[in-house]
């Protein structure tokens, strides 16, 4: 009901960044979502990644101008693959992330991804094993189901995985400091 308050709650519980998916289904609700994203970005000190509802370069521009540190292209949509070069050259590869569930979308476009994006976001954790070696880019894994802190640690111990997001983090947000302490105890670099 109050996404700005929820975003602040995540920040107060030491989230390192926030990934927001715009799931709007019309131009009007898309503009409303962008207003909410802008309010969230204005109220947080942590980086915000914007994703979802990208159809053209203008949508990437709107996410970045709303205050997002990065905007994500959905590589399950060919139209997003097609605008990769354009948005990267316009805004810089450090502002572009790639969302995917099928690792073949990345392997089929490996040179494009490695040249014009700075990070990967895997939205289907079932494909982690296939996605681990498809690129040298940092990889964030979306964990849809609730999992233990030790299971999250197992993901973070994989060298290419630099972050986790999704329902598992949402349900464990009160344990985020415990997760970070567990990571630190296991020799992983974390932002405390």
Query: Which pLDDT value is given to residue 86?
Result: 98
Express as a percent the part of the chain with pLDDT over 70. Answer: 100
The radius of gyration of the chain from alpha carbons, rounded to an integer in Å, stands at 16
Region of 189 on the Ramachandran plot (φ > 0 left; ψ -120 to 50 alpha; else beta): beta
d(CA 137, CA 129) in angstroms, rounded, equals 15
Confidence band, pLDDT 50/70/90 cuts, at residue 191:
confident
Task: Give the mean model confidence (pLDDT) for residues 140-159.
Answer: 88
CA distances from 183 to 41, 88, 139, 145 (A): 27, 33, 17, 20
Please say if the pLDDT value at position 26 is more than 90: no
Mind listing the pLDDT tens digit for each residue in 111-133? 999 999 999 999 988 888 888 88
Query: pTM of the prediction?
Result: 0.93
């Amino acid at each position: 009901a109050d996404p700005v308050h929820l975003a602040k709650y995540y920040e107060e519980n030491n989230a390192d960044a926030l990934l927001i998916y715009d799931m709007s289904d019309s131009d009007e609700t898309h503009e409303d979502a962008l207003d909410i994203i802008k309010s969230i970005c204005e109220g947080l000190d942590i980086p915000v990644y914007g994703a979802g509802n990208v159809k053209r370069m203008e949508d990437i521009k709107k996410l970045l101008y709303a205050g997002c540190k990065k905007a994500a292209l959905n590589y399950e949509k060919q139209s997003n693959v097609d605008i990769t070069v354009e948005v990267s050259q316009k805004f810089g590869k450090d502002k572009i992330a790639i969302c995917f569930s099928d690792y073949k979308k990345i392997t089929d476009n490996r040179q494009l991804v490695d040249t014009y994006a700075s990070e990967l976001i895997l939205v289907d954790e079932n494909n982690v094993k296939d996605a681990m070696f498809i690129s040298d880019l940092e990889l964030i894994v979306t964990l849809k189901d609730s999992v233990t802190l030790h299971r999250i640690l197992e993901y973070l111990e994989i060298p290419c995985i630099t972050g986790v997001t999704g329902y598992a983090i949402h349900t464990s947000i009160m344990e985020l400091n415990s997760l970070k302490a567990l990571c630190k105890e296991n020799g992983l670099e974390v932002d405390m």
